Amino acid sequence: MDNFNINRRRFLQGTTASLALAAFGARGMELIHPTKTLRVGLIGAGWYGKSDLFRLIQVAPVEVVALCDVDKNMLAGAAEIVRQRQKSGKTPRLYGDYQKMLTENQFDIVLIGSPDHWHALQAIDAIKAGAHVYVQKPISVDVIEGEAMVAAARKYNRVVQVGTQRKSTPHLIEAKKNIVDAGLLGKIKHVEMCCYYHMRNNGNPPVQAVPDFLDYENWTGPAPFRPYDNIPHQRWWRTFMEYGNGIMGDMCVHMLDTVRWLLQLGWPKRISSTGGIYLQKEGKSNIADTQTAIFEYDELNCVWQHRSWGTAPNPAYPWSFTLYGEKGTLWGSTMSYDFIPEGKGEKIHGDVLYEKEKYPEDLTEKQIELNAAPATRLHMLNFLSAIETNTRPVADIQEAHISTASCIMANLSMQTGRPLIYDPTKREIVGDREATALLQRPYRQGYIHPHPDRV
């Protein structure tokens, strides 16, 4: 492990200082500055890959030595922005093949912002190359991929932080500390989670020639090969189950992970789900437009609902969680929280923290999620702290695996039409050989599926 110097300074003001304290535990309000510049690589230089990289540049001295993407235009654009942003002013080396990038460079940290179907292979290869890894959620497209990622992180003793940054979201840290942990809800016996965003891209573009700047074969990788009909990485890929797990895998994973963190929950005892394409049948999309899932714990059901059409029951919380306790209710989202007590108690409201004055460059960054930027910066600092102390980060790969795999199994329950009970020790669905076989997707010819016993 590299040694880090700790330069203590107060980096959030007023009430938000306590949020930093909660985020970093005993380290309190500390920014972590490495004794040497960290060598960083990025795989997947699209929207969120760049966003994660820029947040890391803001909080730590790094040298971005290499970028990888299968889109030459996107890669060149990312390289120019990185050159402007990083202190050295150097342009990183550019690659279309991530394995070549890992072979030709030494990295302290590799960030992975590629589509879901590439996460497992790229993360495991980066770990084997000696890097600590920050990988976007969901970590995998099937359960066995996730098991292999956990096994690789442990075998090679690398820190793997996952982009489930709600655990580093200041106002949600505040809600956890001051409402949930303080006992204001009393016994919590029901949870609801939802997403009602109209985010299901459902067009009918024609099959067309692959543009010369895109390596579509390499973009597809281990996934099934679809005829090219659109620039896939501009959110078109998320509408197909070939590359991910639909809205369940994309959006429920965040809220389920947050609820598990708030309530200290592990694996669900049983998972069931129903849904399908009920309304939006006109396009090519094959992900569910309507779905309900139940994640069962002891005397607690966590219920998920999504619709990519219609209106949200609570317009203020269209993508959110709701904790129902005997003494009150807590609504929470990326933008705010509201505690509503039973009886005559005091309502409590909290809003998202912005850091526009501290980081004015946020205001000119294309496609930035301003509400998520402070959370991602805290998430990066927690990642660096875990590297320094050789401990598990707040969004450790094991915790992200539980959340990701649970969402994947909700889809498998919808597919098989029956509840599923997962045994993580045996890596099987209890009493269900057919469902167990679905825990590992077939890879396209030429790609080897990772396995936890062979990483």
- CA 263/CA 33 separation, integer angstroms: 32
pLDDT at position 433: 97
Q: What confidence category does residue 41 fall into, taking pLDDT thresholds of 50, 70 and 90?
A: very high
3-state secondary structure of 192: strand
CATH homologous superfamily for the domain 168-363+401-437: Dihydrodipicolinate Reductase; domain 2 (3.30.360.10)
pLDDT in tens, 288-317: 999 999 999 999 999 999 999 999 999 999
What element of type H or E holds 125?
helix 116-128
The pLDDT tens digits of the residues spanning 306-356 come to 999 999 999 999 999 999 999 999 999 999 999 999 988 899 999 999 998
Question: Which range is least confidently modeled, 57-66, 69-78, 228-237, 303-312?
Answer: 228-237
Q: What is the predicted pLDDT for the residue at 8?
A: 26
Local structure of 252: helix, strand or coil:
helix
Q: Which residue bears the tokens 């891209």?
A: 201
The per-residue pLDDT for 234 is 78
pLDDT tens figures, 197-209: 999 999 999 999 9
| Neighbour count for residue 273 (Cβ, 10 Å) | 25
Contact 163, 382 (CB under 8 A): no
Question: 261: closest CA among 395, 376, 372?
Answer: 395
Mean pLDDT of 208-218: 98
The pLDDT assigned to 36 comes to: 79
Residues 133, 137, 138, 141, Cα dihedral to 10°: -50
Average pLDDT over residues 108-132: 98
CA distance 39 to 51: 17
Fold of 4-165+369-397: Rossmann fold (3.40.50)
Is residue 35's pLDDT more than 90? Answer: no
Listed in order, strand segments (DSSP E) in 257-356 are 270-276, 290-297, 300-307, 319-325, 328-332, 336-341, 348-351
Q: Domain spans of the chain?
A: 4-165+369-397, 168-363+401-437
Q: Do 109 and 80 meet the contact criterion of CB atoms below 8 Å apart?
A: no
